A and B are shown apart, each in its own frame.
Chain A
């Protein structure tokens, strides 16, 4: 198989996989929210409530605080 053919196969397969992954991501985003597992829109608040001592939307267990306490 020549390199040209190889690149065509690589391209078709690669793009196919990407499209599938991308669309399943869309499905995942909306489904997980519908089921109530996740709430993506709450992350929008990270920008609004961004004082250093305000409560995080999701706390990080590995943050600097842990080392201090």
Chain B
């Protein structure tokens, strides 16, 4: 048998494939359905929060920040209740990160205010002396891509049955209506909490700066 395998490249390749596929099949598949279950009362991200999540990914905050509180006393003292699988059920993609150059953010909404974030994103050392985090001033002028976030919400609702309301539906007309009725008011509320006149003015003019969406997302992390 072995002799034959060494001489037949095709069946050799099949043998290699089965060997490497075995582990994945055994470890990933069995828990798949269970791991996808949300915890009770978990709400999907709003479109504004999704847009902020997009900013988080675009500026790759996960280079330095994790979103995973491990079950140790030192971590729960510092960041709060340890993370549960069901809390991530609407996270596509997951944003656990792999390196904490900065602190964990999984429950940052519990102890930082939008006002604090506004100062921190503009000039990190103004609120955390000694911080090595770069300032993200461009987020105050770049406009958040709410349309893509909305498209994402429609997609996960249709493809994966994420429980969004009936007002999230395909098409530009639906998006425009939703943007005016739901997204702008939510953004204005956050901008006001951020106590930044320029941001408030931009939102009132119908544009949502990236940082407003980002802070809406960070504020939701609880």
Contact = CB atoms under 8 A, between A and B. Distances in A.
Query: Are any A and B Cβ atoms less than 8 Å apart in their complex?
Result: yes
The list of the 5 closest CB pairs from A to B, nearest first, reads A7-B30, A11-B26, A28-B2, A3-B30, A25-B2
Interface residues of A, number: 13
Range of interface residues on chain B? under 10
Contacts of B26: 7, 10-11, 14
B3 A38 contact: yes
A3 B25 CA distance: 13
Interface of B: 2-3, 19, 22, 25-26, 29-30, 33
A1 B128 CA distance: 55
Nearest to B26: A11
A26 to B, nearest CB: 10
Contacts of A11: 26
Interface of A: 3-4, 6-7, 10-11, 14, 18, 25, 28-29, 32, 38
A6 B22 contact: no
Given A25-B2, A38-B3, A7 B29 contact: yes
B30 A6 contact: yes
Contacts of A28: 2
Interface centre among A11, A28, A29, A32, by most chain B C-beta atoms within 10 angstroms, is A11
A10 B22 CA distance: 10
Given A7-B26, A10-B25, A14-B22, 16 more contacts: A3-B30, A3-B33, A4-B30, A6-B30, A7-B29, A7-B30, A10-B26, A11-B26, A14-B26, A18-B19, A18-B22, A25-B2, A28-B2, A29-B2, A32-B3, A38-B3
B57 to A, nearest CB: 33
